[in-house]
Structures are given as structure tokens and as C-alpha cells.
Structure 1
């Protein structure tokens, strides 16, 4: 079952992808920041990145694959859900969609889907997507201000 949320982000696809994932065309942009976000890198290959993160008394292993700048897939070896991020260029920026691939079926899966549609989409989606949108809006606003400050001021002339 797929649960999804998304929004348009006012930025170029490459910048949005790098900001969201921490990964560029050649891998992690900053290994220390990547490790803080996703856990210690255990293995890195052409197929993806394997990270481990402490979760209470246990460790969770994530395998992430990156298709720069279009897609990221984060898979966990358990009954938890996998996450897919899809980035598409649209007019005015990038359409970013997060798809949660739930591993629940039957009545529990139906209940999860219903909860997500009524309440969960906003409780999950807003904290995930809003900071990214605000970052790129702020970046655009700062660029506009900087451009306005560098424009030469022409004196008023009367003939």
C-alpha cells in the first residue's frame, strides 16, 4: 500500500534534491552531516549506501539508493515502511513527492491508510516538506533583495 504526500518547492531540481537528501551526483555532499541525518555509513557502492542508526537497544539498517536528481529510495530490512522521494521539474520549481511503501496488509493496512488520509498526511507531511519550502523561499527572497541592492540608482532628471 502506498501513502503519499508532496508539494511544489520553489527551487531547481538539483538544489532541492541535494538539500533534501544530502547527496550530489558523486555521493554524499558532506559525510559528517550525512552521518548525522542517516546514521554511520557502513558501506557505499554503485548500488547505494548502507547506514546503521541506533534505535533504542537495537540498530536499524537502511539501504538507500540515489538516482540523482530524480529519486531516492530508503529501504529498511524489517516490517517497517520503505520511503521513496520523487523529484520532478515543474514550472516554477520542483515537485517533490514522498511515497511511504507500507508493508501492512489487510485490516491493519486499511486502518493505517485511513488514518494517514484523515490525520497523518498533515502530521507527517507538514514537518517534512515545510522546512524545505521555507528554505527555498527565503533563498529566493534573499537573492531578490541582493539584486535590488546592487542595481544602480539613477538620478531623477528633468528636461
Structure 2
């Protein structure tokens, strides 16, 4: 409804088209950043924390990844490239996420924990691989296997 009200309030068709293209381009970039930070990583069905090897801190590192970007582009990614730190410290202001990243990386190095931070294009490749794999698993899932057909999606 709100899109229609904005479109109808524009003084010209040119401005309407320009607004639609700009808003979709910006939201598309944000959507890609959110998708690559979450969907390429391990997921859990049921209880994620099994023992000391899967405690909360480690689970956050296993299930999210950062996207390595230069500081000059922080304004473009608006902090979404630091998903690991965001999941560990959700109330931390985004202007402090890059600083927190260095601290988290040091903790990971000290304790031998993998810190996943591919570049933007590699992150997209990893996400596509995961989506293809997940789609294949859903396609071949049968009723009663506690898979897709037992999920909230079905």
C-alpha cells in the first residue's frame, strides 16, 4: 500500500520511475549483503548447542560470516559486513564494529577458532553453493524424514 501511495504522489512519471529504480537498487544491495552474511553458513535444526564444542560463542562464529570490505566502503555496507560481531554484540553501534572485529579475530586466533571472512565475490559464490545444495536436499526430501515436509515451510 505505501508504495502505491508514494508512486501516486509523484509529480511526473519520470520521477516515479527514478524513485522506483533507486529504491529497488538500494534495497537490492542491502538484501544481497544480508543474504551472503547468513545463508552461506552452517544451519541448525533443533537445539544448536550440544556441548563445549558448540557453545554459544562458537555457534555464532559457525553460523555467520563477515564480508571483507575496505574501510572506505563501510558507508555502503552500513555495518552489515560485520555479521559475526553483530551476532556476538547486537547492541554495539555499527561505527564500532570494525574495531570489535579486530578484538574478536584475536580471541579466535588465541583459541584456534575459525573466523570466516571471505571477500564480497567469494561470499556470493559460497552463498550460491549453499542455496543449490539446500534446494537439492529439499527436492529429494520425503515425508517422514524430519526434513522439509516436517518444517514450518510445508
Structure holding more strand per residue: 1
- TM class by smaller structure: under 0.3
Structure holding more helix per residue: 2
- What TM-score results when the alignment is normalised by the length of structure 2? 0.26
Q: Between the two structures, name the one with larger relative contact order (CA 8 Å, sep ≥ 6).
A: 1
